Amino acid sequence: MSATELLIELILMPLVAFVVGMMMVLMMRRIAAKLQRRIGPPFFQPLYDIVKLHSKKTQVSHGLIHDIGIVMAMGGYIAAETLLPVPGMNGIAEKGGIITLLYLMMIPSLGLALGVGQCANPNGSIGIARALTAMLAYDIPLVIVVFGVAYAAGTTNLIDIIAVQQAGGFETWGATQMPLLAIAGLIAMHASLGKQPFEIYIAPAEIATGPMVEMGGKYLGGLFVMQCFQLYTTSVLYVCLFLGGGTNWFDFLLKSFLVLAIPMSIAYLFPRYRTEDLLRLMWKWPVMLGLIGVAFVFV
């Protein structure tokens, strides 16, 4: 691959992620609206929100780290997108592999944690403490799942993992080969999205939206952008690990949206857990499913 092609891919991949991510946000809000028996936002609402927030006149900052936190939150995901292969574009996926990707996906939340930390707001700090605890909760099953998939494929390279799955059509998909891991992965993915019942760190009635509490204007806008990326990254990663990636864009997007629709439809039917209940749930069922799944992989 020539350097120009690679450069174009590296630019295109985050861009596509952003656009698709906005549509995913829209889908999420529309699903919520349907369940709550109302109409829901117009099609371009996510875009309106982001443009509006970035065009606010007042941008209240609590200091440099507050700014840098948001930059890290956006930048971490932009970098992560280039490690996530999509149909026709591999970016630099073979330079990092899935472990690196998982780590890169932690950078935004840590950037956010730093930024929120400087706001000197106890609500924000509690929110971050809860968010990190939630990360501890859902990353453990997620890591088991990733281990199982990577071990089964014999590689940590996502391109190879996708290639292995696409080799034999539906039968070689991760989800058919390793159903237990796929279920555990779905639960972990739901928790990583931070939606009910795992929405412990936004919790408006408890800690007044936690990390977002001092964010306004482009700071909040940055978080909205981050949410688009987060939805995209999570669902595409799941598609890559279990649903054989995408052979073409239609196939790929269909799978990603469908995968995301599952947790979204569940989310609005539940209240949120307490922190320790979330931990208990995540460490019990998905971990158990994941370990059994890994055992099957070894067999």
Partner 1 sequence: MMLTLLDELLLFSGATLLVALFIGRGLAAGWMVTILYGGQLLALLKMAVLGYEGGTIASSLTLEVMGQALSWRFDALSWFFALITIGSALLSSWFSCGAWERSYIRQGGNIWLFHTAMALNVFTMLILLASGDLLSLFIGWELVSWAGFLLMALAGGVAARAAMRYITYAMAGGMAIFGGLALIYTASGSLQLEAVTTAVEQMSGAKLWLLVILFGGGFGVKMGLMPFHLWQAPAYAETPGPGSAFLGAISSRMGLFAILLVLVKLFGIVKIESLKVPFTLIDARDLLAWIAVFTIILPTFTAMKQNDARHLLAWHGIGQGGYMLLGVVVADAMGGAGGLLHVFNHATYQAALFMAVTAVIYRTGTSDLNKLGGLVVRMPLSFVVLLIGIIGLAGLPPMNGFVSKWLVYRSLLNQGMPLLFLAAVIGTLGTILSVYKLIHNIFLGQLRVEHEHVSEAPWSMMIPMLILSAIIFITGLMPGIPLEWIASVLQTVGLPVPDYTLGGVESSSGSLDMIWVIGVLFAGFGVGALVFYSAGRSKRVHQLDNYAGGHFLSADVRYQYSDNFYAGLMHLIGGWYRGSFLWLERGITSLVEFLSLGMQGLYRRANAEFYLLTTALFVIAWVVI
Partner 2 sequence: MGSIKQIPVVEAKRTNPLARVFDDLVRFCRSRSLFILHYCTGCGAIELPPAMTSRFDMERLGIQPMVSPRQADILLITGYVSIKTLKRVILTYEQMGSPKYVIGICSCTVNGGMYWQSYATAKKLDEYMPVDLYIAGCMPRPEAVIAGLQQLMDKIHSGEASSWEDYYRNYDYYLGNQQKLFGEDWQTPTDVISEAKHYDLLSEGTLGDHTRLLEQHQKPLEALEMRLGHEQEEPAK
Partner 3 sequence: MRPENYEAQRQPPSNEFELNFGPNHPGIEGNYALKVKLHGDVVLEAQADGGYLHRGFEKLMEQRLWIQNIALVPRICVPDPSPMELCYSMAVEQLCGLHVPQRANWIRVMQLELSRIAAHLFTFGGHAATTGMYSTMYWGVADRDLVLDLFEEFTGGRVYSIYNIPGGVRRELPSGFLQRVSETLDYIESRLPDYDNLFFKNQVFVKRAKDVGVMTQEQALAWGVTGPNLRATGLAFDVRRDDPYLIYDQLEFEIPTEESGDAWARTLVRRHELMESIRIVRQVVEALPDIHGPIRAPIPNPLAWNVPAGETYTRVESSKGELCYYVVSDGGPKPYRVHVRGPSSMHAVQVLEKLSVGSRIEDIAQTMFSLDACPPEVDR
List of residues contacting partner 3 (CB under 8 A): 32, 35-38, 122-123, 126, 196-197, 199, 203-208, 268-275, 277
Stretch that binds partner 1, among 40-48, 97-105, 175-183, 188-196 (CB under 8 A): 97-105
Q: Two tokens at 176?
A: 């058919």
| Beta carbons within 8 Å of 213's beta carbon, 6+ residues apart | 119, 121, 123, 124, 127, 207
State the binding partner of 291 from partner 1, partner 3, partner 2, none, CB within 5 to 8 A by kind: partner 1
Rg of the chain on CA atoms, in Å = 19
> Closest CB to partner 2 among 65 and 254?
65
- Residues 168-227 contacting partner 1, CB under 8 A: 200, 208, 213-214, 217-218, 221-222, 225
Q: How near is the Cβ of 136 to partner 3 at its closest, in Å?
A: 16
By CB under 8 A, name the one of 15, 64, 71, 136 that touches partner 2. 64
Q: How near is the Cβ of 206 to partner 3 at its closest, in Å?
A: 5
Q: Specify the amino acid at residue 130.
A: R
Q: Two tokens at 222?
A: 């940055």
| Residue keyed to tokens 């875009």 | 47
The mark string for 29-58 relative to partner 2 (x by CB under 8 A, - otherwise) is x---x--xxxxxxx-xx-xxx-xxx-xxxx
Q: How near is the Cβ of 130 to partner 3 at its closest, in Å?
A: 9
Site for partner 2 contains 116 (CB under 8 A)? no
By CB under 8 A, name the one of 6, 89, 132, 208 that touches partner 2. 208
Contact 87, 245 (CB under 8 A): yes
Q: Which of 20, 19, 54, 25 is nearest to 40 (CA)?
A: 25
Stretch that binds partner 2, among 138-146, 207-215, 259-267, 280-288 (CB under 8 A): 207-215
Alpha-carbon gap, residue 98 to 261, rounded angstroms: 24
Alpha-carbon gap, residue 232 to 147, rounded angstroms: 22
Q: How near is the Cβ of 201 to partner 2 at its closest, in Å?
A: 14
Sign of torsion, CA 214 218 222 224?
positive
Q: How near is the Cβ of 207 to partner 2 at its closest, in Å?
A: 10
- Work out the burial of residue 1: count CB atoms within 10 Å of its CB; fewer than 13 is exposed, 13-18 middle, 19 or more buried: exposed
State the binding partner of 82 from partner 3, partner 1, partner 2, none, CB within 5 to 8 A by kind: partner 1
Site for partner 1 contains 298 (CB under 8 A)? yes
> Closest CB to partner 1 among 115 and 246?
115
- Number of other residues whose CB lies within 10 A of the CB of residue 256: 25
| Residue keyed to tokens 């939630």 | 134
